[in-house]
Amino acid sequence: MQPAEVGACWEANAENWTRFSRAGYDIYRDALNTPAFLDMLPPISGLRGLDLGCGEGTNTRRLADLGARMSAIDIAPTFIRHAREQEANDPRGIDYLLGDGGDLPFDDGEFDFVTAFMSLMDMPDQDRVLKGVRRVLREGGFFQFSILHPCFVPPHRKTIRDEKGDCRAVEVANYFDETDGRVETWLFSSIPADERENVAPFRVPRFHRTLSTWMSMIIGTDFQIEELREPMASPETARRHPAVADTRVVPMFLHVRLRRPVP
């Protein structure tokens, strides 16, 4: 699948994705993934940052609130429109650009850090993206990203529940099937039934890679792996948000921080 086709899928998703995520229906993001990502993030106050695959800008705003001077890029015009409208209504000094993560329109060494919240696994040619990120980072800068866990969210994943509806196991299969744009259709599970009526499901292209492929790409780009985490919902979070309780059985996300070496 080519970038233009990927962009068309995300443009078709963008209006409803923005509406539902801003309404609080992206529970995995809000209750677990973003808090864990920010907990892992080094201090960024005063640094120049780029958010890659920013969507409608929720997480970019979180980074700006931590004191970073942010730019952000996304392939879907509707996401960028919503992000810019929010910036106009509640300014944080964020510069949102329409563009392709595989062809970054920035100067060499322009940024102190780059982030990608759950976007990298949805981009074709991730090796090219990694090389582009390294180019726009200054020496000593870092790249932190979150992706669906390659081992536990391969092309097939099914939650196995007991008689009370609690997750007791997760079934995975087709781990070695590296997909190049296989489109998955779904909606946030917490959207109420009446709001689901007459709403087309999201169409999300997946570019699944095995863990060894991810490591080979990272090593080949000459990044240093600085930290890895596999977020797990706390017992309290799982009680308040049962949808994320399956992450107490196996992880759903992998968080990675890479560093561009200083010669």
**Domain ranges in the chain?**
3-259
Q: Which are the contacts of 111, defined by CB distance < 8 A and separation ≥ 6?
A: 48, 49, 50, 71, 136, 137, 138, 141
Query: According to the model, what pLDDT value does residue 12 have?
Result: 96
Helix (H) / strand (E) element for 248: namely none
Query: According to the model, what pLDDT value does residue 2 have?
Result: 87
Amino acid, single-letter form, for residue 48: R
- Averages of pLDDT over runs of 10 residues in the chain (263 residues) are 92 96 96 98 98 97 98 98 98 97 95 98 95 97 98 94 91 95 92 90 95 96 96 96 94 98 92
Quote the pTM value.
0.94
- The SS3 of residue 189 is coil
- Choose which CATH entry (3.40.50.150, 2.10.109.10, 3.40.50.300, 3.90.1150.10) describes domain 3-259: 3.40.50.150
Task: State the Cα angle at 210 between 243 and 224, rounded to 5°.
Answer: 100
